[in-house]
Every structure is written in C-alpha cells, then in structure tokens.
Amino acid sequence: MNKTMSIARYEYLHHVGRKRFWIALIGVPLGFVLLLGLSTLLSRLSFDTRPVGIVDHAALIQIEPDHSKESTFFEPQIYLQVFPDESAARVAIETNKIQGFAVLPEDYLSRFQIVYWANKQPLSDVQSVITDFVSKNLMVSENIDPAVVSRINEGSQISLQSLDGSQVYDGSNTDRIAVPILVGVLNFILVMTCGGYLLQALVEEKENRTLEILLTSVSPKEIMTGKIIGNLSIGFTEIGAWILLLAIAGFIFRNKLEFLMGLDISFSYVAISVALTIFSFIFSAALMVTIGAMMTSTAEAQGVIGLMVIPMMLPVYFFGTFMNNPNGLLPRVFSFLPFSSPLSIALRMAIGSVSRTEILLAFVVIVLMTLLMVWFAASAIKRGMLHFTPRLLLRRKFNKETPNA
Amino acid sequence: MSTIIVDKIAKSFGSTQAVKDVSFEVHPGEIFGLLGPNGSGKTTSIRVILDIYQADSGTVTILGGPMTNEKLNHIGYIPEERGLYQDVPLDRCLTYLATLKGMTEDQIKDRLPKYLAKFDLTEHAKKKAKELSKGMQQKGQLIAALLHDPEIIIIDEPFSALDPVNTQLVKDLLIEQRNAGKTIVMCTHQMNQVEQLCDRLVLIDHGQVLLQGELSEIRDRFRTNEVIIEALNPLPEHINGVSKIERLNDAHRLTPQVGISAHDLLNELVSQGIELNSFEVAVPTLDEIFIRVVKEGNGHNE
C-alpha cells in the first residue's frame, strides 16, 4: 500500500471509529424521519376531515358525491354531504357532524356565486372539493361525455420552447428536479461532515505537531490527496448507508411509493451532477486545508465550515433567476464557479437544457481550478502549518523561495 | 563521507532572519550536538535539513544528494514537543507512522512489540496518547523515530520529560545507535548530556554559528590555567602569583597571574604551608563555555 493510500485508510478508519461519525450516520436519517413525522402529524391534526355540506337551490346536482376513495391517515379525504335545506345543514354544524356547508342559490347559473357557511375559516381543500363537484355537475347537466369531463378536469400540459429550439421547460420533466435536490443534499453533507472532519483533523494535527512528523515522512501532496480520498470515502459511506436505509424503507412502504416507478431521470444526467459534486468537494476540501493553515484552534475552524455552505447554495438564493431564464448570464456564471457549479448545472438541466460543450467547458474549468487549489493547499500545508503565531498571511504564500538543493 | 552536509543555509520569515550562513557536517557513527539558546535558529535549521522549510540560500546534502521522498524513509525525527495523535491508541498511532516510513505490516508486527517491551510500554500500548504520562509519550515518540531503523536520527530535546531511569535508557539507546553506525543529530539545552554523548557539536545563536568542532578540542580551546583546590586550613587573603581567589562550596578557584603555571602555583601553596586535600586544573564545563560564547556572541551582535 502506498503512502497516499495509507493516509486515506487511516483517515477513514480513524473517523469511522469515532462516536460523532455514528451519531451523524444515525442522527441524520433519524432526525429527518422525526421531522417528517412531526410535520405530517401536525399537518394531519390541523386537517379537518369532517364532511362538508351542500345545499342545492339551483337544482344543479345530478350525480352523487364521490366517496369511493378511502380516507386514511396519510391521505385524508373531505367528503361532501347533500342536505335538502339550510336548516338541516345548520343542525349538522351545531351537532359537529359537518365543518360547514355551501349553498348554491337559485340564480347560481346566472351569477355563479356560492355562499359557504361555517364557524371557522375552511382549508383550501374544502373550496377545491366544492368547486370540482359543482363543475362536474355543470358538465353533466350540459350532457358532456364523461370521458371529456375527466380530460377537462385533468387540465392541459404546457411545454415552453425557446426560439433557438432548445427546450426550456416541459411539464413532464418535473421529476428531474429531484436531481438538483440530490446534488444540494450531497454537497451539503460532503462539505459539512467530511469537510468538517478534514479541517478539524488538520488543525488538530497542527496543534499536536503530528503534522511535523507527517511532513518528515510524506510530501504535502500525498498528505492532501490521502486525506481527501479518506474523507470522500467517509462521505460515500454515509450516503451509501442512507441510500440503503431509504431502499429498505422504500421496500417496506413500496405500495405508497408507486409514483417513483414513473421517474424519468437519465443516468448521464445523474452522473454529470455527481461527478461535478465530487470535484466541487475536492475544491472545497483543498480550500479548507488552506484556511486550516491559518487557523490556530479547532474552535476557529468550526466557524469556517458553516461559511463554506453559503457560496455552495448560491443557485438556491437565485432560484427565481434560474427559473426565469436557466441559460441567462447569472446561471451561466454560477455554472463555472467550483462551489456553485454542481447545483447550477443540475438545476439548469432540470428546468431547461445545457449544451454538451458548456458542460464539457464547465468540467475543464472546475478540474483545472480544483488542481490549482490542491497545489495551493499542499503549499499551505508546508508553509503555514508550522506557523502558530502570528497567523500565516496569504501574501507569505507568494514569497519567492529558492530550492535548497 | 558525511551523511549530512549543511552549507551556508539562510532562512528568513518576513523581516526576521532565523538562520544565516549556517554550515556544518555530520558523519556516520557520531552523535552531533546542535546547541543554542531558545530562538537561536536550531529548529529552523532542522526543518531546513528535513525539507519542511526551503532555504532562501545555501544547500543541504543528505545521504549524498538533495532530499527526496525516498530519503525521508531513512530519517527518524522527534520534534521538541508532542508529535503523537492524542486520541488514538499508542500502538495504532505507531503502526500508522511506521507505514508512512515505508514499513510493511509484517515488519511492524515483528518490531513494534520488541520496542514497546524495550521501553516498558507493552501494557500501555492500547492506551491513547493523552492517557499516558509525558515521559511515556516521549518514549512513544522515540519508538516512532526508531522503529523503521533509520540511518539518520534527528532528535530535539530527547530527555526533556524523562526521569533518571528513562534518561539512562535513552542514552544507552543513542549510544547503541551510534555504535551501529547511525548518524544522530541531537538538539538539547542539557549540557551534561551533550558532554556525555556528543562527539562533535555546533553552537548557534541568532541564527549564526558561534562555535563548532569536537568536544575535546573545544574544551581544550577554552581551557584556562585556573586551578581548583580543597584546603584543610583557611586560605590567606593574598597568595603570591594568584590574581583572583573565588570561593566555591568546599573549594576555591584560583586564577593565576599571567606567566604563572599550575605547577608554580602548587609550589607556592606548599611553600606557604597550606595543606591541600585536592588540587586539580580546572576544565571548563560545556555550560560555562556555552554561556561565555553566547555572551560574547551577543556582545558582537550588539
């Protein structure tokens, strides 16, 4: 095993053996499940499932309300109940049997005005249930074919095309938005956890003077490369474990997740996004090492990790700009910055199209900048890591040096 | 052939000149003392030798040429303080550091237990460094520096945290390494250890070489004709041929006037009826030479 792989192996085993790795490994999905469960529970508790009454003075209703779909905890339904008159509906409200009732006045067909009676503001779902039901009855009263009724209710799919022929947005491509979300999460996890481990480990080595020992055994580039490979492997272990957990959960709840089968995401799209994310992480890791060379304590290093996320999430802050014009100036500029490139390209590919040439160019730029940053970081290890006070000044890095041999 | 040749190296940090025109050579089979007060440039010189810092000017030749990654495998280094992973078991830490020196797992499995036993650390092998005493950590560092059987050993303050028993253990080990033909560079403030161990030395201060050579030759160079006597009866206030009488604990240091030899002085003392328990020519200690040279050096610098 060469020295680089020895460093990578040590980094990996060292961090995987620590409590905080396992806390993160178990804590993140557990926290996610708890948050999801809590928000679902709160949402469910605030969802009023009592039926909604309807009083028809316009003699419009010809079909019975549809109660075929079962109301469950995860998919609660609001059923409609037809009342012969308003007084019967009022009694039902007072006895808590319904949450409110809608009245279709005699002149509904001329004014299209519905009055809703209730003691509290209804959920938006109530309005949808009432208008859908009334619309269906309107169409039936006009003898429109039920198949056409169904099509009208489904609505139309709008596809936007740019004048140069490249696709800008297709309603059927909403699945692809999953990729930028994946890239965002992946980036966040890699920088916050693996980058955090890397920066903290380096500052600790600087404090312990173990770095001085390492520098008398291996080159700074080997140290850098080994640490990045080790920490990247930790990230993939975490993500792999979470994917496994998701797969298990998916298998258990497979009946509820049938919609996933219809996802239309190409392998190349995911591969481009993941590859850019890895290079972006290497760039961030190298930058962290450079910053670590200027840090004097682990507490200082902790603060820096949070700052790294800000430029990474630039496309999120400018989400509106991306949606309006994914091939505009700002999205294009962000596509060539190592921090924001993965999310920018993934987002642009999800809502529009990015030419192969541009993707290739972005790769070339990101790889070159990453290599430059790694070189810079290796130099920082050697020059900065042994300085404790005063802190290393960036300008010191640029001082001309003469080889000693 | 010299194992290490340092030729007129200079290194600055900003406006601070840490090392200036330092030159010396270290040969195989010797313990070489790199001495100097705090901040004198010793550590910077070592880091330049180890290629951690690149010299602004001058050259360092290691094992016949410039430093390479491969040559790092032939060097064992112990910095002045710490150097071990604090929250990692000692055996795992030493194994890791040994792999970085190019050792195979089999070699480590073979040698590590022997070294741990030699340094009485076998039962502490699974403890984290932070759970060990300073002395144990120091011994752990020694193992890290020696496990890969290096040709060159560079060691900064090797006795700083050791009790007398372990100090002797390390001294024996360094002598054993010297006898095995290894090149040892030792930085220390403890002059008594230098006197016992070093064959040659260099003294630097303010980044410049003030003194270098063989220990015996340096002592001769600084030898005076002062004598130390233990008298059985009180000394008179004035003794012919003596310019200064200095009282030590149970003895006196006599400084003869110019042209008066130790033999002349002995005759004078006997003729004055002074009964002597002992009479010896004073040999300057390395401490005294160190202080004198550094003071003179500072005088020059000022």
In three state form, how does the secondary structure of chain A look?
A: CCHHHHHHHHHHHHHHCCHHHHHHHHHHHHHHHHHHHHHHHHHHHCCCCCCEEEEECCCCCCCCCCCCCCCCCCCCCCCEEEECCHHHHHHHHHCCCCCEEEEECCCHHHHCCCEEEECCCCCHHHHHHHHHHHHHHHHHHCCCCHHHHHHHHHCCCCEEECCCCCEEEEHHHHHHHHHHHHHHHHHHHHHHHHHHHHHHHHHHHHHHCHHHHHHCCCCHHHHHHHHHHHHHHHHHHHHHHHHHHHHHHHHHCHHHHHHHHHCCCCHHHHHHHHHHHHHHHHHHHHHHHHHHCCCCCHHHHHHHHHHHHHHHCHHHHCHHHHHHCCCCHHHHHHHCCCCCHHHHHHHHHHHCCCCHHHHHHHHHHHHHHHHHHHHHHHHHHHHHCCCCCCCCCHHHHCCCCCCCC
Asked whether residue A199 is domain-assigned, the answer is yes
> Do A265 and A197 lie in a common domain?
yes
Contact A6 B96 (CB under 8 A): yes
B65 touches chain A (CB under 8 A): yes
Cα of A268 to nearest chain B Cα, Å = 39
Examine the pLDDT at A398 and tell me if it is beyond 50.
Answer: no
- CA pair distance A202, A228, nearest whole angstrom: 11
Q: Which of B96, B107, B128 to mutate to test the interface with A (most CBs of A within 10 A)?
A: B96
CA distance B251 to chain A (A): 47
Q: Does B39 touch chain A (CB under 8 A)?
A: no
Residues A131 and A15 both lie in one domain: no
**Mean pLDDT value across chain A:** 81
From chain B, the residues in CB contact with A214 under 8 A are: 100
Q: Are residues A124 and A271 in the same domain?
A: no
Q: Which of A111, A130, A156 is the last residue of a domain?
A: A156
B61 or A182, which is more confident: B61
The answer on A151 and A57 residing in a single domain is yes
Question: What Å distances lie between residue B290 and B190, B209, B255, CA to CA?
Answer: 11, 12, 20
In a domain, A177, yes or no: yes
Whether A387 is in a domain gets the answer yes
Helices then strands, counting H and E runs in chain B, come out as 10, 13
Substitution target in A400, A402, A404 with the highest count of B β-carbons within 10 Å is A404
Q: Are A56 and A82 in contact (CB under 8 A)?
A: yes
pLDDT confidence bin for A171, thresholds 50/70/90: low
Q: How far apart are CA A184 and CA A316, in angstroms?
A: 9
- On chain B, the residues whose CB falls within 8 A of the CB of A401 are 54, 56
The more confidently predicted of residues B195 and A176 is: B195
The segment with the largest mean pLDDT, out of A125-134, A158-167, A300-309, is: A125-134
Q: Give the H or E element holding residue B70.
A: helix B69-72
* Gap between the Cα atoms of A330 and B279, Å rounded: 92
Q: Is residue A16 part of a domain?
A: yes
Chain A residues touching residue B82 (CB < 8 angstroms): 208-210
Determine the 3-state secondary structure of B246 from DSSP. Answer: strand
Cα separation values, A233 from A14, A202, B85, Å? 12, 17, 21
One domain, residues A347 and A204: yes
Nearest to B102 by CA among B67, B140, B69, B143: B69
* Best mutation target, B7, B48, B100, to test chain A (most A CBs within 10 A): B100
Is B100 touching A (CB cutoff 8 A)? yes
Measured CA to CA, the distance from residue B277 to residue B231 in angstroms comes to 6
**A203-243 tens-digit pLDDT:** 888 877 888 889 899 988 888 889 888 988 988 898 888 88
Q: How far is B34 from chain A (nearest CA, A)?
A: 19
CATH top-level class for B4-220?
A: alpha beta
Query: Which comes out higher in pLDDT, residue B212 or A175?
Result: B212
Domain-embedded: residue A44: no
The DSSP code for B124 is G
Contact B85 A210 (CB under 8 A): yes
- Per-residue pLDDT of A303-334, as tens digits, reads 777 777 788 888 888 988 888 888 889 999 99
Give the whole-angstrom CA distance, residue A394 versus residue A384: 9
- Chain A hits for B85, Cβ within 8 Å: 205, 208, 210
Q: Is A295 exposed, middle or buried (0-12, 13-18, 19+ CB in 10 A)?
A: buried
Residues of B in contact with A216 (CB under 8 A): 50, 52, 72, 75, 77
Q: How confident is the model at residue A172 (pLDDT cuts 50, 70, 90)?
A: low
Q: Between chains, do A208 and B100 touch, taking CB under 8 Å as contact?
A: no
Least confident residue range of A149-158, A285-294, B166-175, B284-293: A149-158
Contacts of B97 in chain A (CB under 8 A): 213, 217
Residues A22 and A60 in one domain: no
Domain limits of chain B?
4-220, 224-281
Task: Kindly indicate the confidence band of residue A258, based on its pLDDT and cuts at 50, 70 and 90.
Answer: low
pLDDT value of residue B100? 94
Instruction: Please report the pLDDT score of residue B73 as a whole number.
Output: 92
Question: Mind telling me how many Å the CA of A213 is from chain B's nearest CA?
Answer: 6
Residue A238 maps to a domain? yes
A98 and A234 part of one domain? no
Contact residues on chain A for B83, CB-CB shorter than 8 A: 208-210, 212-213
Are residue A79 and residue A192 in the same domain, yes or no?
A: no
Residue A84 sits in the same domain as residue A223: no
In DSSP terms, A83 is beta-bridged to A55
Buried b (16+ CB within 10 A) or exposed e, B10-41: bbbeeeebbbbebebbbebebbbbbbbbeebb
Whole-Å CA distances, B79 to A360, B53, B101: 47, 14, 16
Of B52, B65, B82, the CB nearest to A216: B52
A132 in the same domain as A272:
no
Q: What is the pLDDT at residue A66?
A: 84
- Answer whether B83's CB lies under 8 Å from A213's CB: yes
Q: Do A404 and B79 touch (CB under 8 A)?
A: no
Model pLDDT, residue A159: 67
C-alpha dihedral, A221 to A226 to A229 to A235, nearest 10°: -120
The domain of A74 spans 52-156
- Asked if A316 contacts A343 with a C-beta cutoff of 8 angstroms, the reply is yes
Contact B73, B151 (CB under 8 A): no
pLDDT of residue A167: 53
Give the residue, A178 or A112, on which the prediction is more confident.
A112
C-alpha distance from A228 to closest chain B C-alpha (Å): 17
Percent of chain A with pLDDT over 70: 86
Alpha carbon of A201: minimum distance to chain B alpha carbons (Å): 10
Per-residue pLDDT of chain B (302 residues; tens, 9 = 90+): 789 999 999 998 888 889 999 999 999 999 999 998 888 888 899 999 998 888 999 999 999 999 998 899 999 998 876 688 888 999 999 999 999 999 999 999 999 999 999 999 999 999 998 899 888 888 899 999 999 999 999 998 888 778 888 888 889 999 999 999 999 999 887 888 888 899 999 999 889 998 899 988 888 888 778 899 998 888 888 888 888 888 888 889 898 888 888 888 899 888 888 888 999 888 888 888 888 888 776 544 44
Please say which residue of A94, A121, A156 terminates a domain.
Answer: A156
Q: Is residue A40 part of a domain?
A: no
CB A3 within 8 A of CB A218: yes
According to DSSP, the residues that pair with A167 across neighbouring strands are A161
> Do A201 and A312 lie in a common domain?
yes
Per-residue pLDDT reduced to its tens digit, A62-84: 888 888 888 888 788 899 999 99
Q: Do B47 and B19 contact (CB within 8 A), yes or no?
A: no
Chain A contact residues (CB < 8 Å to B): 1, 3, 6-7, 10, 14, 204-205, 208-210, 212-219, 222, 382, 386, 396, 401-405
**B59–A1: do the CB atoms touch at under 8 Å?**
no
Distance CA B36, CA A211 (A): 24
Q: Binning pLDDT at 50, 70 and 90, where does residue A89 land? A: very high
Does residue A36 lie within any of the structural domains?
no
Among A210, A234, A235, smallest CA distance to A223 is for: A210
Average pLDDT of the segment spanning A369-385 = 81
pLDDT at B297: 67
Q: Are A102 and A115 in contact (CB under 8 A)?
A: yes
A210 and B52 in contact by Cβ < 8 A? no
Last residue of a domain, one of A156, A181, A207: A156
Closest to A249 (Cα-Cα) out of A32, A102, A38: A32
| A225, A314: one domain | yes
Nearest CB partner across the interface for A212, out of B14, B52, B102: B52
Task: Report, as an integer, the average pLDDT of A253-259.
Answer: 71
> Pick from B77, B86, B144: which is nearest to A208 by CB?
B86
Q: What is the mean pLDDT of residues A11-18?
A: 88
Helices B90-99 and B105-118, axial angle in degrees (round to 10): 130
Find, among A46, A67, A53, the residue nearest to A118 by Cα.
Answer: A53
DSSP summary character for residue B252: E
Q: How far apart are CA B259 and CA B241, in angstroms?
A: 9
- Asked if B99 lies within 8 A of A6 by C-beta distance, the reply is yes
Choice between A266 and A137, residue whose per-residue pLDDT is larger: A137
- Closest-CA residue of A relative to B58 is A404
